[in-house]
Structure 1
Amino acid sequence: MRINVLQHTPNEGPGSIQDWAHAKGHQMYIYHPYQFGHFPSADETDMLVILGGPMSPNDDLPWIKQERDLIKQLLANNTPIFGACFGAQQIVKTLGYQVTKGPAKEVGWASVYRKSEVIPGLPSQLTALHWHEEMFEIPDGADLLFSSDDLENQGFVLNHHVVGLQFHFEPKEDNVREMVVNDFPYIEGSVLNQTADEILARQVPAENKNVMFQILDYISENQ
């Protein structure tokens, strides 16, 4: 399987998603459209991973619209798609739904709660890394997958092969450090009231990688 990854900022990479691809014997190609403007074609994409970034899907940038053109083709082809944060928002925007400012900025570690059993075996509660202040609508026909204390729409599953999460399960320890040391000014004003040092001091829960693997297994097996 060829997994094409769209990365939107240097400090938010695929993390444990890359571990999953290697464990399964898949090939991963990482694109940086914000810098180079290149995208894979739909024909050469067996799975699409759309990562986070500091931009908004509401920004008037040509590459953001071009990215949604690719997502639209892959949705029509029933290709497995996983989106994290900005990536999830891009899926929702492609489907014609809104992405707006959330009730509060969430930056740091906080619990998320499973709201659907459509993906078997997911824990009822997990601790995830949040790094966002916008939120998405849940598309018609999708299942609400996760909520947090401060935001209801934290994740969705659509047609068994598309998952979007507003937060992050994919970062490993080094990835969290990279996010914090480069984007620490963004932490200010978060409702979670955590400092950069407090975010760094928290170990990444081992179960987050397991859940990331479960989600990717699910969408790849149900295309």
Structure 2
Amino acid sequence: MRINVLQHTPNEGPGSIATWAELHGHALFTYHPYQFGQLPTAVETDMLIILGGPMSPNDDLPWIKAERVLIQDLLARDVPMFGACYGAQQITKALGYPVSKAPTKEVGWVPVYRQSSVIPNLPDNLNVLHWHEEMFEIPTEATWLFASAAVRNQGFVLNHRVVGLQFHVEPRQNNVREMVVNDFPYIKGSVLNQTAEDILRVTVSGKNERALFAILDYIIE
């Protein structure tokens, strides 16, 4: 399987997604459209991963619009897709739903709570990394998957093929360090009131990787 990854900032890479791909013998191709302007074609995409980034789907940039055209084409082809943070927002925007300011800015570690059992082997809650101040709407045709105490719309699953998460479940410990040391000014103003040092002290739970693997296994079934 060819897995095409859309990465939108140097410090938010595929993390444990790359581990899952390697374990299954899949080929991972990483694109950086914000820098090089290149995107894969739909016909060469067996699975699409859309990662987070500092931009908004509402930004008027040609490459952001081109991503949504690709997403729409893959939705029509029933190709598996996983979106994290901005990536999940791009999926819902491609489906015609708005992306807007969240009720509050979430940056740091806080639990999310499972709202559906449609995906097997997901725990009732996960302590995950948040790095956002916008949110998607849950598409009416999708199933609500996760919520946090501050932001209701934290995850959805659509047609057994598409999962979008507002939070980050893919980072490994070194990925968290990379996010914090490069983007620590963004922490200011978060309702979670965590410092960079607070965020770095948290150990990434193995539950997060297991949940990610369960999601990725599910969408390719």
Give distance in 1, aligned partners of 2:121 and 2:35.
38
- Give runs of ≥4 in structure 1 deviating > 3 Å: none
Q: What do residues 7-48 of structure 1 show as CA deviations (whole Å, max 9, x unaligned)?
A: 000000000000000000000000000000000000000000
Give me the whole-angstrom Cα distance separating, in 2, the residues matched to 1:90 and 1:193: 27
2:171 paired residue number: 171
Aligned residues: 221
1:1-223 superposed matches below 5 A: 1-221=1-221
Q: Post-superposition shift, 1:121?
A: 1.6
**TM-score w.r.t. structure 1 length?**
0.99
Q: How many angstroms apart in 2 are the aligned matches of 1:102 and 1:144?
A: 16
1:201: Cα distance to partner?
0.5
The amino acid that maps onto 1:195 is T
Distance in 1 (CA, whole Å) between partners of 2:60 and 2:141 is: 28
Query: Counterpart of 1:163 in structure 2: which amino acid?
Result: V
Q: Aligned partners of 2:191, 2:205: CA distance in 1, in Å?
A: 21
Q: Distance in 2 between matches of 1:207 and 1:125?
A: 9
Give unpaired runs (5+ residues) of structure 1: none
Q: CA deviation at 1:140?
A: 1.4
Matched to 1:6, the amino acid is L
TM-score, structure 2 as length reference: 1.00
1:28 partner SS:
strand
One-letter code aligned to 1:169: V
Cα distance in 2, alignment partners of residues 149 and 111 from structure 1? 8
Q: CA RMSD in A?
A: 0.4
Distance 2:9 2:89 in 1: 16
SS for the counterpart of 2:43 is: helix
CA deviation vs aligned residue, 1:99-151 (integer Å, no higher than 9, x gap): 00001000000000000000012100110000000011011110000000001
**Unaligned stretches of 5+ in structure 2?**
none
